[in-house]
Amino acid sequence: MAQKKLQRFADIKTFPNVLEYPVAMKGQWHVFFKNNNPVVLELACGRGEYTVGLAKLFPKSNFIGIDIKGNRMYIGAKKCLSENISNAAFLRTQVEKLADYFNPGEVAEIWIPFPDPQLRISKAKKRLTHPRFLRLYQHILKPCGFIHLKTDSPGLYLFTKRVADMYDLTIIEDSGDVYAGDEIIPELRIKTHYESLDIAQSKKIHYLKFTLPGEIKNIDEQLQKVLRHEEQLD
């Protein structure tokens, strides 16, 4: 297994659709993709199922899967190369460093499918819908750019709705049970490797689509107090 991982690390260094900690990429994604189409991110992309799936559905947009684990993104990157999917790429870096790679307003949308829910209150700041991260997204997103969360974690779903209420996010779509509806949009039919494993043994998949306000309130300590209070009630 270790040898396989090492080989994948070596391989992605030769892949033209994988960038590992690149420099001077701010404002240069239109050059990389050779077009001016909208840029959409998949955060904590893992194997990149959403990056690949969305790229197939929307050929007039460019998709970038972002993760720190190069051996996982190898799978999505290789699939794109083998299927000649030219509007998808992968960026190996930490989500916390997004502002190092994108100019303000350079990103049209962000997808966060099945992130680690970080359910312990002490790790709430690591949740990818925590205001700490929303401020990062606000810096690179176009005004009113959409953020999509798809998760099997009721805790993360409810937490994000709590954040939306406290920080004046605008929820555009809210589904507590994605697959219960008669008409499921194609992008929500995409399944990640994690979802297919059904580790959480969840009967429901939750989805939120929202936008950020012009300014995100500085009330993170208040949010933490609310979370601790709710934990005590449980």
* CB-based contact 88:63 (threshold 8 Å): yes
* Count of C-beta atoms within a 10 Å radius of residue 5: 14
Distance CA 95, CA 83 (A): 27
Reading the block at residue 142, the tokens are 């176009």
Which DSSP symbol is given to 215?
A: S
Burial class (CB in 10 A: 0-12, 13-18, 19+), 64: buried
Reading the block at residue 95, the tokens are 């989500």
* CB-based contact 62:40 (threshold 8 Å): yes
For residue 174, indicate whether it is catalytic. no
Instruction: Find, among 131, 129, 201, the residue nearest to 158 by Cα.
Output: 129
* CB-based contact 113:192 (threshold 8 Å): yes
Q: Catalytic pick from 11, 116, 174, 220?
A: 116
Residue 175 is inside which H or E element, if any? strand 170-175
Which residues are marked as active site? 116
